[in-house]
Amino acid sequence: MLRIGVVSGGNGYDSYFRSEYTDLFEFSKQGAVSIEVVPANDWKEMKWNRRSSNGEYEEPDYTELLKKLLTGANPVDVVVLDASEYQAFARDGLLKQIDPLLQKDKIDTNEFVPTVIDGLKAMGDNNLYGLTPTFSSQALFYNKTIFKEAGVEPPTDNMTWEQVFDKAKLVSKGEGKERIYGFSFNNYETDPYSGMDGYVKPLNLRRFDDKADYMTVNTPMWENVWTTFAKLVNEKIVPGADMEMPEMQDEQYNPFHYDDFLSGRVVMVLADYWYIDSSLLEAMKYGDKINGFTKFDWDVVTVPSHAEAPGISGLVSLHNIFAINQKATNPEDAWDFVKFVSSDEWAKLRSRNSGELVSRQKYLKPKDGTDFNIAAFYTMKPVLPTEHNDEELFMMYSNLWEVQEIGSSLFQEVINKKKSVSDALKEWETKGNQVLKKKEPTPVHSE
């Protein structure tokens, strides 16, 4: 029996996990190995463990629940982790180092993309304690046609944010509904505040401390970020809330009308790998059938980075990291399973899902006759996790969104020149601290 620990079970997740990862492995073993999927948090059981008369159940500490799976009386052999859990458990000596196993079985880690191997090593103090078969990443998409028409050299890999913003300024032009913006943090959202997360993560800038006890925004670094963003919006290099949208032509449905990049309203945009298959290739293939749509040449480069953190992207995510428990009772089958889901054969099958990035570099190739810089998606390193990162804290406390709302509102006042950046950040600190004093654990289940 091989026992695999996952963070949650029930509500159909067990079937999904088996179809994604374990069914093929069991089939390949021809009945020699059976697998038990062990959830740290079972949704079916949880609904009977109410803690209050209104049926609400407090959000559990998933990291502690996973730790119990590793250290309890009947420990799991393999555990599936996110980046922060992987880093913490490796640091605490709960995971088996796999470098010797990789060497013994002559598995060349150079066949994996740098984003994955370098990222996992950085989280494990330059050692490997697990592998992930897939990852997610963004790149900087750009309209080659507009750059050529403007006589401006297009962006390149490994540029800084300042260099990209300078490029954006050179290709921004027009007024009102005809305005072309040089850059956007995404292809639909006109609120640049939402793009700050990916920008500040590599700088280790946070809104509040790792326990969400107090705000940490009233600093020179945050002031620099807000000043930079406000200038980009006010100079109309990046679209803001006042962006004027042209009307759809001839009442014909245009599925790309609200996509700022495909519509030509934005010259450079940050987007995920799956954007290529879900929208971009489709637009270039069928765009001739839509009145007013103009095809263009495009390519991608790496997400810009900060001079203080070169080569680090806040828009890379390592998840579903498979690691072996240091206390595994079946370490041989555990390693066989981790090898299987990280194998060349598995990656070849999984790469057919054109919206997903597999960790094996040889299977990351442009599809359908396209030619673009696909390496832009897998050469940047992820940001090292922090204890209780903001995403975790937003899950743990239901009212933390109010801190975001306050920040967004104050940033808009800065854009509208109703407040200085300094005054806005001081107010965000004061009002945010009031919210944090009353933070409420997230209710997971209610009936």
Residues 66-103: pLDDT tens digits? Answer: 999 999 999 999 999 999 999 999 999 999 999 999 99
Q: Residue 215: is its pLDDT beyond 90?
A: yes
Residue entry with tokens 């987007």? 271
Q: Residue 18: is its pLDDT beyond 80?
A: yes
Average of pLDDT values for 113-122?
Answer: 96
Q: How many CA atoms lie within 13 A of 91 on its CB side?
A: 12
Q: How far apart are CA 130 and CA 272, in angstroms?
A: 24
Residues 295-351: pLDDT tens digits? Answer: 999 999 999 999 999 999 999 999 999 999 999 999 999 999 999 999 999 999 999
Give the DSSP per-residue string, 277-333. Answer: IIIIHHHHHHGGGSTT-----EEEEPPPBBTTBTTEETTEEE--EEEEBTT-S-HHH
User: Among residues of the chain, what percentage have pLDDT more than 70?
Assistant: 92
In one letter, which amino acid is 287?
Answer: G
Q: How far apart are CA 276 and CA 281, in angstroms?
A: 6
pTM for this entry: 0.92
Beta-bridge partner residues of 312? 381
The pLDDT of residue 255: 76
Residue entry with tokens 């680090």? 312
**138-313: in CATH 3.40.190.10:** yes
Average of pLDDT values for 108-128?
Answer: 97
Q: What beta strand segments (E) does 155-260 contain? A: 181-184
Q: How far apart are CA 89 and CA 211, in angstroms?
A: 19
Phi, psi of 325 (to 5 degrees): -65, 135
Beta-bridge partner residues of 271? 139
In one letter, which amino acid is 386?
Answer: T
Residue entry with tokens 């070169």? 310
CA 311, distance to chain mean position in Å, is 16
Residue 287 pLDDT grade (very low, low, confident, very high; cuts 50, 70, 90): confident
Q: How far apart are CA 419 and CA 430, in angstroms?
A: 15
The CATH number, out of the four listed (3.10.129.10, 3.50.40.10, 3.40.190.10, 2.40.50.100), of the domain defined by the range 2-133+320-364: 3.40.190.10
Helix or strand or coil: residue 97?
Answer: coil
Average of per-residue pLDDT values in the chain = 91
Q: How far apart are CA 195 and CA 316, in angstroms?
A: 14
Residues 231, 236, 239, 240, CA torsion sign: positive
The pLDDT of residue 247: 67
Q: How far apart are CA 402 and CA 440, in angstroms?
A: 11
Domain ranges (residues) in the chain = 2-133+320-364, 138-313
Q: How far apart are CA 278 and CA 188, in angstroms?
A: 14
Beta-bridge partner residues of 316? 137
